[in-house]
Structure 1
Amino acid sequence: KGGSEPEEGAFYVWTFSELEQLLTAEELIELQQQFTVTANGNFESKNVLQRRRSGELSATVETALRKLFVARYGATPESLETFPPARNNQEAKSRHWPGRIPAVTDTKMIVAWNSLMISGLARAYAVFREPVYLELATTAADFIVNHQFVDGRFHRLNYENQPTVLAQSEDYAFFIKALLDLQTCSPEQNKWLERAIALQEEFDEYLWSVELGGYYNTSSDASQDLIVRERSYVDNATPSANGVAIANLVRLALFTDNLHYLDLAEQGLNAFRSVMNSTPQACPSLFTALDWYRNSTLIRTTTEQLHSLMSQYLPSVVFAIASKLPDNSVGLVCQGLKC
């Protein structure tokens, strides 16, 4: 209390002078042998403890780590089952913490970010067949489906069980992709595909640019105060919403045989054609969408064959269950009107 507020991340790092104060000379020497600890630090002049090699640690190093644990958490490992994080900024600053002031936990749920995680988990399940990956992905997707729609409209955030802020283009694009990725994991049922089709309809109604092609960042009924409605095409910390959205349209065309999706995908690619020509390094997601548009492939196969095929790297492929295949065949590979 009354002290200066620590900078972000201070909870996790150690200055060399702190280590010198907390540890004996022998403990510090052995710690440096086992961890990436130096006088100059390995991250912004401070030290993040990283093991140099695997294997058992010496008793001296274990003692040193125990001292650091107490300095950070204010209790011994035996007496502390779980460490309660700070629930908000005020609690972090005002509560008397026995060790260091912990980082505040940000408890809001963002649809776009969770959707990227769902896609990653779905892909991991397809490759490794670990049921827990699919369980986590479906639980997260079900939460979004059950909690992020208010009066029939999709919402971006959830804070303390309250959905808020109308969804933006990345929320639509990434969640539709997540639903299609889940559909790929369980093609026997159309639950996820039906959700994706319904959400794509809302996406097209409120964010599609009829005049220019592509999707605006914000919906038509949430943009009254904006001077300009932007259309995101650059990949930053997250992929471009339009790149992911256009690839989704091609996938939906393969899943449904509805060529309207393919028409929209073509319009979207044409809308960003000049950007793709002039600064291709800025928009790799649009080139992924172009790859889907040019090389999209539908593989019709049996449920038995599907699992072995799903684990392969087939970047522009959609799977469908075929009730009957030609004798001695693995599946039908279809591009355009040819199989």
Structure 2
Amino acid sequence: MEKKPNSLLQETSPYLLQHAYNPVDWYPWGPEALQKAKDEQKPILVSIGYAACHWCHVMEHQSFEKEEIAQVMNQNFVCIKVDREERPDVDQVYMDALQAMGLQGGWPLNVFLNPDAKPFYGGTYFPPQNWMQLLQSITDAYAKSRAELDKSADQFAEHLNQSELAKYGLQHRNPDFNQADFEQMFQNLKKRFDVKRGGTGEAPKFPMPSIWRFLLRYYHHSHDPVALEQVNLTLEEMAFGGIYDQVGGGFARYSVDEVWLVPHFEKMLYDNGQLISLYSEAYQVTRNELYKQVISETIAFVERELTSPEGGFYSSLDADSEGVEGKFYVFTQAELQEILGEGAELASSYYNTTHEGNWEHGVNILHRRQTDEAFAADQGLSVEELQEHVQNWKDTLLQVRSQRIRPGLDDKILTSWNALMLKGLTDAYKAFGEPRMLELACTNAHFLLQNLKQENQLFHNYKKGKATINGFLEDYALLIQALIGLYQITFEEQWLKEARKLTDYTLSHFYDEQEELFFFTGTAGEQLIARKKELFDNVVPASNSVMAMNLHFLGLYFDKDQYSNLSDKMLSKVRDLVVQEPMHLANWASVYHLKMKPTAEIAIIGPETHSFRNLLQQHFLPNALLAGSKEENDSSLPLLDDRFAQEGKTTLYVCYNRTCQLPVQSVAEALEQVDTI
């Protein structure tokens, strides 16, 4: 029997297209489905997921592909499928609703709404029998107790519209960013450390880059070795674990265990972009060659598997291939023997594989437990000999793996996630100065500004030559941040000017003057049942914390007090929460670090501007910004006014609070001036 398509067939999202031939009469989120619910007075089922989500696939196969289940859904509900990556605004509203119901969030997210789109019940994954029972129960309850469900839905909608500041008891305070609070943040975070295997807490373990980037800043400020030890432990354990693709580079989304061994195999652009930033900064601090290797291999993975011909970056790779999670990435011992021949025994010791397998069904997840130095010593090899073997194994295994059936690719391009990768590339270029990193970054920036920006307005998504969804605050905040980073590694002022234009657009279209924070959706976006603000730093930093950091730096670049003062006000609003819960506001904690001491403004003028900049940026300077020009008076930036190359030699000016130190003509002298404050 030939399958008939539903209304998702016209969509571009790979996740929605996966469901286009389900017998469920799915609609995309939009006016047609919402109006249909009102016309027919049926409850709405909103089912939210994303293309790389393993349990989304499981629920589709078990329930949404079954005729008898689809019949019940079609008869009693208006069924809407949402790609959470395309519509984070819809996902945010209904995820908050689920948590307001006292239920655990996650994906797939299945929420039941009345025809006014107000939620009254929800959950995540349901096995088919439980799902069928739930559908029947809600159908019965809706027929018999509609008034009660509508009352409950009104209460949840009211809760969703509660002010964020009121919800968490936040009050406006005068900006007072002090050492005691900063130290308390670290002490509160320290209680959550896993001091044996890195990370925080128990399984599952997510990389959470914002936490470790804050710890690098805390270490920079305090020189407390405990902070750096926890960063190094975490980064080494992740790099050695199965969460890191030992063959092809790049990180999976999280580890299901506490030792980073068994990943949830989906690989997301947003994780890898941020982890490139994190490992680059950690390399600046430690010069650990392992970190350099991780960055190089992860960028190679992104270039090889997630880069479009136009220079945009795709969203993710699925966890599954051939319907089996992780199949693309694992090896049996027999396969390793056949592929590597004489080298298999040494490779098995290096990657800790066994005949029984170290995971389920007799397969092995390649992982490490020792540094190359320790392993080489145990095997009676030089480090150089070992590393030659390792590179040969990787090349051979990657070649064999490339012949396998690949995991599904989510080939939509998202502005916010591209911006995170763009920022990762700028941070990597700072640490290593490799031209290919700069080339990838510039190509991506040009692609985003040409295809996802119209005048000063951004779009969120791009697929098959079309950008269709209005940008969210995360798109503006993260792209502004990336453009500031791109200026810092090129000194091309077009990038800063673009960042300023986008900032002014967010102030006009996203800013809530009453609470002095930004809404997630702009005035041009669809009006949902609640207009949310993003406060908490999660796997991706909160768009408000990113904007606070952007405003801090742009206020200094353009000598614009409006930006600087707003950044201070935003942080002061959430300060108490940051001190109490730094684990969930780690990027805010990094903003706090910027406010503890004046930010160093470093201006470089003269013929060797670019080489001086590259030398400076090899150092970890989290509370500094750089500006430069080869020629005097060849800039519109206030930071470069009245700066000149003394006696024709490249000259550096280190300034704080609009007051400059004596000009110097070596990077070493400039670094001394930065360190003295």
TM range (shorter): 0.7 to 0.9
1:127 to 408, 431, 452: 431
Partner of 2:659: 338
Q: CA deviation at 1:250?
A: 0.9
Q: For the residues of structure 2 that align with 1:248 and 1:196, how far apart are their CA atoms? A: 9
User: Which deviates more, 4-13 or 323-332?
Assistant: 323-332
| Structure 2 CA distance for partners of 1:300 and 1:28, relative to 1, 3 Å | closer
Mapped contact 1:126–1:185 kept (Cα < 8 A):
yes
User: Which deviates more, 249-258 or 293-302?
Assistant: 293-302
SS in 2 for 1:320: strand
1:301 to 587, 593, 604: 604
Letter in 1 for 2:620: Y
Letter in 2 for 1:319: L
Partner of 1:76: none
1:169-184 to 2 correspondences below 5 Å: 169-184=473-488
1:217 to 520, 531, 534: 520
Partner of 2:453: 149
Partner of 2:567: 265
1:32-54 Cα deviation digits (max 9, x unpaired): 34643124534556313458754
User: Which deviates more, 190-199 or 234-243?
Assistant: 234-243
Q: For the residues of structure 2 that align with 1:40 and 1:212, how far apart are their CA atoms? A: 59
Letter in 2 for 1:121: L
Partner of 1:254: 556
Percent identity (aligned): 27
Q: CA deviation at 1:331?
A: 2.6
Q: For the residues of structure 2 that align with 1:43 and 1:122, how far apart are their CA atoms? A: 37
Mapped contact 1:19–1:28 kept (Cα < 8 A):
no
Could you tell me which runs of 5 or more consecutive residues in structure 1 were left unpaired when the two chains were aligned: 74-82, 84-99
Q: For the residues of structure 2 that align with 1:49 and 1:293, how far apart are their CA atoms? A: 43
Q: For the residues of structure 2 that align with 1:111 and 1:40, how far apart are their CA atoms? A: 44
Partner of 2:547: 245
| Structure 2 CA distance for partners of 1:101 and 1:120, relative to 1, 3 Å | closer
Mapped contact 1:234–1:240 kept (Cα < 8 A):
yes
Q: For the residues of structure 2 that align with 1:43 and 1:34, how far apart are their CA atoms? A: 17
| Structure 2 CA distance for partners of 1:29 and 1:281, relative to 1, 3 Å | closer
Q: For the residues of structure 2 that align with 1:271 and 1:20, how far apart are their CA atoms? A: 56
1:233 to 532, 535, 541: 535
1:112 to 397, 405, 416: 416
Mapped contact 1:169–1:218 kept (Cα < 8 A):
yes
Q: For the residues of structure 1 that align with 2:336 and 2:440, how far apart are their CA atoms? A: 43
Partner of 2:270: none
Structure of greater relative contact order (alpha carbons < 8 Å, 6+ residues apart):
2
2:496 to 178, 193, 218: 193
1:62-93 Cα deviation digits (max 9, x unpaired): 9xx79x977x66xxxxxxxxx5xxxxxxxxxx
Mapped contact 1:325–1:332 kept (Cα < 8 A):
no
1:216-260 Cα deviation digits (max 9, x unpaired): 222233251132x22222222222222221111011011101111
Letter in 1 for 2:579: N
Partner of 2:627: 320
Could you tell me which runs of 5 or more consecutive residues in structure 2 were left unpaired when the two chains were aligned: 1-320, 369-374, 376-385, 629-639, 661-677
Partner of 1:94: none
Q: For the residues of structure 2 that align with 1:186 and 1:172, how far apart are their CA atoms? A: 21
| Structure 2 CA distance for partners of 1:27 and 1:265, relative to 1, 3 Å | closer
Letter in 1 for 2:364: N
User: Which deviates more, 130-139 or 112-121?
Assistant: 112-121
Q: CA deviation at 1:261?
A: 0.5
Letter in 2 for 1:254: L
Q: For the residues of structure 2 that align with 1:27 and 1:299, how far apart are their CA atoms? A: 52
CA RMSD of aligned residues (A): 3.5
Letter in 1 for 2:527: Q
**Given the alignment of the two structures, is residue 165 of structure 1 paired with residue 485 of structure 2, yes or no?**
no
Letter in 2 for 1:338: T
SS in 1 for 2:437: helix
TM-score of the aligned structures, taking structure 1 as reference length: 0.76
Letter in 2 for 1:324: F
| Structure 2 CA distance for partners of 1:261 and 1:40, relative to 1, 3 Å | farther
SS in 2 for 1:225: coil
1:58-97 to 2 correspondences below 5 Å: none
| Structure 2 CA distance for partners of 1:269 and 1:44, relative to 1, 3 Å | farther
Q: CA deviation at 1:290?
A: 2.0
